[in-house]
Amino acid sequence: MIKPGFAALGLSVICVLLSPALFAEDVRSMGMGGASVSSGTGVAGAMSNPALLLQARRNEERYQFRFGFYGEARDNANLIDELEDNEDTADEIDAEIDRIAAQALTCVSATPTPDDVCLTGTTSLADLANRLTTTLRNVDNTPLDGRAGVDIGFSVGHTYIPFSVNIGVRATGAGLADITDEDISYTRDLAVALGDDDITVGEITENANISLTNNNGSIQIVQPDEVLTSEASGSIVIRHQISVALARTLEVSGQAIDFGVIPKFSTLRAGSLSKLVRDLDDDDLDDEFEESENSKSSFTFDVGAGITLPRKESIRLGGVLRNVISESIETNNGFEFKTTPQAVVSGQYREDWYQLTGDLALNKAKEDNFETQELNLGTELSHSWFKFRAGIGHDLAADSDPTTFSVGVGLGFLDLGVRLNGSKVQGGLQLAISL
């Protein structure tokens, strides 16, 4: 009934947790607010900006290896909390309706008046209806989306053209509820009629969902699964990708500029489902989702550049254009996932024991429908094998809670990072080794 409907609203998060997951974001940069385009290191840095492969060469790092994973959820309406708080609401509503229907009426007379009380003890059902009304309003047209991923890669820095190879899997999912005005009216009117702890003849007459049965000897209340017309939808795309980063330093007007490119080859598998809330407990739900699935191959690439300022070796500038060729996949029932280009500029100030880095995305863009336009600022403090990181990020594409705060640590070859705010949490772990 309602309970399966609420579960469907969390379809995206469930899919992300149970599916092979997204190319793992650089956990080091995650701890620095997401900034990485001019300061990334190792294989993850090359994935952020391929021109950074040349920095590894200058640092005499011949080989680099990396394994990483991370997850991220955006819950702008606190839907997960709503799901947990209302896990038993449907069963409680059923029980209360059955209890009220079993009571004998006290308003049976030849000439009943609108104020005659037919039965009492309705406050519990009114409270449940009020709770459901609040939940429906909170979740209406507010997306719950998430992504997660795992990848592994290596880079070689001492060859004529340094290169990096990265293999990863990611899943990106979303859930959305479209609540109708009729459903809101049903729960609200039920709460109003029952809120004074009784039901009168007048309230029965005025409420289409309450009626007298058995020759006016009992009362019947229409149950939610008989009238709900709201829809819940969920979608997920799984991307398997292999990418190869290449970089070279070129002289431009006497200035050495690093350039890099990343061709990215992917296979995509996407599915989606949209159902009436009252039908979400159908046995064929899984079959319908599988019927919507579609697969295709795709190709795009990133280009990046970086430069260390003359006579200012502590300052480095960088930029990258990601996903130069737009990608898309459409499910068999017409839902489309898109990936669009995005340009990012970056700057880094570095001393021996600390660095400050900032990235700015110049346009909004989608990555498998996950839309962002971030301004990120972060710092890293280093001492021997220990590193402390902190940062702040602001997503210009976010409708609510756009600002995130992050913290991370580096313990030798192990990196940990987390970013969070009121509706978003992102965390990850990676192993990164340089030889």
- Tell me the C-alpha distance between 225 and 94, whole Å: 10
- Tell me the C-alpha distance between 127 and 195, whole Å: 7
Predicted confidence band of residue 361 (pLDDT cuts 50, 70, 90): very high
Q: Residues 330-348: pLDDT tens digits?
A: 999 999 999 999 999 999 9
Is the confidence at residue 319, as pLDDT, over 70? yes
Our CA angle for 151, 156, 159, nearest 5°, is 155
Is the confidence at residue 318, as pLDDT, over 90? yes
Q: Residue 417, Cβ neighbours under 10 Å: how many?
A: 27
Of 247, 266, 312, nearest to 170 by C-alpha is 266
When pLDDT is averaged across residues 53-70 and rounded to a whole number, the result is 90
In 43-143, the DSSP E strands lie at: 63-75, 117-120
Q: Residues 75-91: pLDDT tens digits?
A: 766 767 776 777 777 77
Strand, coil or helix: 293: coil
Is the confidence at residue 160, as pLDDT, over 80? yes
- Give CA separation, 417 vs 70, 429, 430, in Å: 9, 7, 9
Say what the pLDDT of residue 264 is.
97
Phi, psi of 332 (to 5 degrees): -65, -20
- Tell me the C-alpha distance between 221 and 97, whole Å: 7
Is the confidence at residue 402, as pLDDT, over 80? yes
Strand, coil or helix: 16: helix
- Residue 108 is given by DSSP the state -
Strand, coil or helix: 86: coil
Sign of CA dihedral 131, 82, 400, 330: negative
- Tell me the C-alpha distance between 389 and 410, whole Å: 8
Is the confidence at residue 180, as pLDDT, over 50? yes
Q: Which residue has the higher pLDDT, 189 or 11?
A: 189
Q: Residues 404-423: pLDDT tens digits?
A: 999 999 999 999 999 988 76
Strand partners of residue 434:
64
Say what the pLDDT of residue 254 is.
83
Predicted confidence band of residue 38 (pLDDT cuts 50, 70, 90): very high
209, 182 Cβ separation under 8 angstroms: no
When pLDDT is averaged across residues 207-221 and rounded to a whole number, the result is 82
103-112, 195-204, 262-271: lowest mean pLDDT where? 103-112
192, 209 Cβ separation under 8 angstroms: no
Residue 435 CA to its chain's centroid (Å): 36
Say what the pLDDT of residue 21 is.
32
Say what the pLDDT of residue 282 is.
64
What is the phi-psi region of residue 78: left when phi exceeds 0, alpha when psi lies from -120 to 50, beta otherwise?
A: left
Say what the pLDDT of residue 85 is.
76
Say what the pLDDT of residue 297 is.
97
When pLDDT is averaged across residues 145-163 and rounded to a whole number, the result is 92
Element counts in the chain: helices (H) and strands (E) = 11, 22
Predicted confidence band of residue 223 (pLDDT cuts 50, 70, 90): confident
Q: pTM score, two decimals? A: 0.82
Q: Which residue has the higher pLDDT, 9 or 109?
A: 109
Strand, coil or helix: 196: coil
Our CA angle for 11, 395, 43, nearest 5°, is 80
Percent of the chain with pLDDT over 90: 47
Query: b/e for 264-274, b at 16 or more Cβ within 10 A?
Result: bebebbbbbbb
Q: What is 2-77+143-174+234-434's CATH number? A: 2.40.160.60
- Residue 225 is given by DSSP the state G
- Give CA separation, 73 vs 103, 141, 144, 239, in Å: 46, 17, 8, 18
Is the confidence at residue 228, as pLDDT, over 90? no
Strand, coil or helix: 93: helix
Say what the pLDDT of residue 25 is.
67
193, 207 Cβ separation under 8 angstroms: yes
13-22, 105-114, 224-233: lowest mean pLDDT where? 13-22
Say what the pLDDT of residue 310 is.
84
Strand partners of residue 268:
239, 296
Say what the pLDDT of residue 76 is.
66
Q: Residue 46, Cβ neighbours under 10 Å: how many?
A: 35
When pLDDT is averaged across residues 96-125 and rounded to a whole number, the result is 84
Q: Residue 2, Cβ neighbours under 10 Å: how many?
A: 25
Is the confidence at residue 5, as pLDDT, over 80? no
Of 197, 183, 170, 164, nearest to 54 by C-alpha is 164
Q: Which residue has the higher pLDDT, 158 or 143?
A: 158
Of 136, 125, 129, 124, nearest to 82 by C-alpha is 136
The residues spanned by each domain of the chain are: 2-77+143-174+234-434, 84-137+180-226
Is the confidence at residue 383, as pLDDT, over 90? yes
Predicted confidence band of residue 19 (pLDDT cuts 50, 70, 90): very low
